Amino acid sequence: MDFLLEILVILIVAKIFGELLEQGGFPAMIGEIGAGILLGPSVLNLISPSATLDLFADIGIVALLFISGIEMNLRSFLESRDAAIVTASAGVAVPFIFGFLFGQVFGMTTIESLFIAITLSITSIGVSVRTLIDLKRLNTPVGSTIISAAVLDDIIGILLLAFLASIAATGSAATEKLLLTVLASIVFLVAIATAGRRAIIWVFDHARRTETHEMVYSAAIIIALLSAYLAHTAGLHYSIGAFIAGLILSNQIREDHMLFDSLMDFGFGFFVTIFFASVGLLFDFSLETFTSPLVLPILILAFAGKIVGGFLGSINFLDRAEALMVGIGLSPRGEITLVVAKVALAGGIIATGLYSAIMIMVIATIILSPLLMKRVFSFFEARKERVTEPPPR
Amino acid sequence: MDFLLEILVILIVAKIFGELLEQGGFPAMIGEIGAGILLGPSVLNLISPSATLDLFADIGIVALLFISGIEMNLRSFLESRDAAIVTASAGVAVPFIFGFLFGQVFGMTTIESLFIAITLSITSIGVSVRTLIDLKRLNTPVGSTIISAAVLDDIIGILLLAFLASIAATGSAATEKLLLTVLASIVFLVAIATAGRRAIIWVFDHARRTETHEMVYSAAIIIALLSAYLAHTAGLHYSIGAFIAGLILSNQIREDHMLFDSLMDFGFGFFVTIFFASVGLLFDFSLETFTSPLVLPILILAFAGKIVGGFLGSINFLDRAEALMVGIGLSPRGEITLVVAKVALAGGIIATGLYSAIMIMVIATIILSPLLMKRVFSFFEARKERVTEPPPR
């Protein structure tokens, strides 16, 4: 199929499915991912992942995280810093330990056990962010703790993956590569927090004073993409760079309503939809997939690990209901897990049964986490209202 | 180079060059094309045309023509219909005759002569539209005559190309294909003017009433891309379908300022810039290119043909100054000419000398036409002001 036609079909089906889900009271994102599953190899087999679609999806995740950085702003992010560090650490450690022990108990190899451990540790920041935006909860203590923790979680996860790769390869070259990744990530984070921050603000302010009418818009997109690209080059995920760029430009962009709306349209009206549909394209399951005996245990471990970890990590900073929501909010796994599992399957590191279980786990956490979050949010809010109501005489 | 990096480099260099040109009083478009030439095979050889970049460029030309359809609206287009038909016919016939005779006089084959004739006949609608938008002259009698004529010109040009292909191939299969192209184009144009129009308005109105916040924006983009894709499938150029979709939705979109601004940003802040830069990438010249003895005659023929044709075609509908501007406005040749010339060179239909001359002609008309138009516009406006001034006592 012609690329332009692929983009068109994806947009049309994803938007219709998203709208149907939204009318039913569910997040549009689930419909968009569903559209990808329908069009992808498992069902209709009309569209396959490709480098071109990946580029659109990458711009989509960059737009999504850039926008959430803008909505959150640097101050809320820094305020939730301590909570985020503890939450991210516990939110990675608990599912990691659960996963590793599970593998060992079931007699898997060390590499397979480590693989399960890491798979269970990486939150899909895209799904968490989109859910919080859809539920209008991004700028709450729970929202900023989830996002900040998910960002750190993403950084830890990528280092863990580099670690796994170095173990799988063994030898001093692999260890050197691991150290290099850690070093490059640190350099990127320090650079963008210091000189990078000043450079971004300088470029953006200058873009305002140009003759070209759309320059501020172009500048915002260029800054987001460049920052994402540099993060990626340093070994991190695109989303980290885009998110930090959004935090840095938050105040300037929020002052300019037209610009902010236009960027929202660029993201949610086009590229972000393609991103979620392309996550759906990554699934390729048949009836056999569901019969793997590992499906249920992995799914339970996935939720239990993140909910326990997120709860324990944030309980010192939030109340119990909020800490529970943080745990649920960190539960979705996504495209990174899927891609890693595909590579591991192709490389013979894991067997088909485990691959299937991970795929089902990813889709189940993506669908169930937003629904659970919505429920829990409204449940605790209703209770809060009851509690603060004046007692009947 | 990584695709994301390619898009980034193109955006950054094209936006800077565009801004520099604009500060110097020239159209930004020239800077954007210049950025493509600099990054492309002729100079730095950093970026080559690819299917992925073509997709971005195609979305760019769709956005550009969709926006110009919105800005012009159906009424102005239909008002200039008679002028457009005569102007387009003369604007194609005169350069066609000039080109064919030139080939015959210089002892070229019939195919080569026809090739020159057709190359000189196809206006670059993208360059004309962008120049009129940059000069804020799209919605004037001259502007609507140029665009309407350029649209028809594009349709005629594509039929001529199909005709050339059928001659080059010979045989009944080729003739059948030509007839099929003509038929498909007519079917598309009739369908979009009748049922298509109603369907487009229906979809757009329904998009307004959905739950999804960005649905109107997505619907506008989907309609533009789909209409462009169908035009392309029918054998026409993407731009025709996008332009007609813009005409149809003109009133609805212009009423919604936020939506219109957001679509302008989507186009001029991102995709349109990539389109013009990718036109620049198509050039591959060396010092030898400039030494072809055909360069100067082809260039003179290119301007003379369109200026004489455009002038003669529109003189019954406009005054002399305006008719002259129409002729100049139809002069730019662009990406279609370049692509056709590349294919013809590779297929052995034309020699390197002729290919070089056409390439120089394209770039010269792209750079000179906007500059000439700007000059002529201000010259005649100054004169008009002098004429309408009260006589000194």
Q: Are B69 and B260 in contact (CB under 8 A)?
A: no
Q: Which residue of B has its CA nearest to A62?
A: B4
Residue A183 has pLDDT above 70, yes or no: yes
Tokens linked to A93: 């450690």
Q: Which residue has the tokens 């809060």?
A: A384
Residue-level pLDDT at B391: 54
Residue-level pLDDT at A173: 65
Band of pLDDT at residue A159, cut at 50, 70 and 90: confident
| Mean pLDDT computed over A319-330 | 92
Residue-level pLDDT at B154: 83
- What CA–CA distance (Å, rounded) separates A15 from A20? 9
Residue A391 has pLDDT above 60, yes or no: no
Residue-level pLDDT at B237: 87
- Yes or no, beta carbons of A212 and B22 under 8 Å apart: yes
- Tell me how far CA of residue B193 lies from CA of B196, B241, B243, B245, in angstroms: 6, 11, 12, 10
Band of pLDDT at residue A6, cut at 50, 70 and 90: very high
In terms of C-beta density within 10 A (0-12 exposed, 13-18 middle, 19 or more buried), how is residue A301 classed? buried
Contacts of A313 (CB under 8 A, 6+ apart): A83, A86, A87, A88, A89, A90, A91, A149, A326
Query: Does the CB of A214 have a partner CB in chain B at under 8 Å?
Result: yes
- φ and ψ of A330, to 5 deg: -90, -5
Band of pLDDT at residue A392, cut at 50, 70 and 90: low
Mean pLDDT of chain A: 89
Residue-level pLDDT at B172: 64
Q: pLDDT, tens digit, for every residue of B257-286?
A: 999 999 999 999 999 999 999 999 988 877
Residues lower than pLDDT 70 in chain B: 168-174, 386-393
Residue-level pLDDT at A141: 87
Q: Which residue has the tokens 């529109």?
A: B314
Chains A and B form CB pairs within 8 A to the count of 133
**Helical pair B352-388 and B335-346, crossing angle rounded to 10 deg:** 160
> A357 CA to chain B: closest CA distance, Å?
32
Residue A66 has pLDDT above 90, yes or no: yes
Band of pLDDT at residue A336, cut at 50, 70 and 90: confident
Q: Which residue has the tokens 């320090």?
A: A190
- Yes or no, beta carbons of A212 and B28 under 8 Å apart: yes
In terms of C-beta density within 10 A (0-12 exposed, 13-18 middle, 19 or more buried), how is residue A389 classed? exposed
- What CA–CA distance (Å, rounded) separates A14 from A37? 10
Residue A313 has pLDDT above 70, yes or no: yes
Indicate the pTM of the whole model: 0.90
Q: Which residues of chain A lie closer than 8 angstroms to B273, CB-CB? A: 218
Query: Does the CB of B27 have a partner CB in chain A at under 8 Å?
Result: no
Per-position DSSP letters for B295-328, written without gaps between them: HHHHHHHHHHHHHHHHHHHHTTTS-HHHHHHHHH
Contacts of B37 (CB under 8 A, 6+ apart): B43, B280, B281, B283, B363
In terms of C-beta density within 10 A (0-12 exposed, 13-18 middle, 19 or more buried), how is residue A2 classed? middle
> B18 CA to chain A: closest CA distance, Å?
8
Residue-level pLDDT at B170: 61
Query: Does the CB of A52 have a partner CB in chain B at under 8 Å?
Result: yes
Per-position DSSP letters for B14-56, written without gaps between them: HHHHHHHHHHTTS-HHHHHHHHHHHHSTTTT------HHHHHH
Could you count the other beta carbons within 10 Å of the beta carbon of residue B172? 8
Contacts of B104 (CB under 8 A, 6+ apart): B113
Band of pLDDT at residue A138, cut at 50, 70 and 90: confident
Position A235, amino acid = G
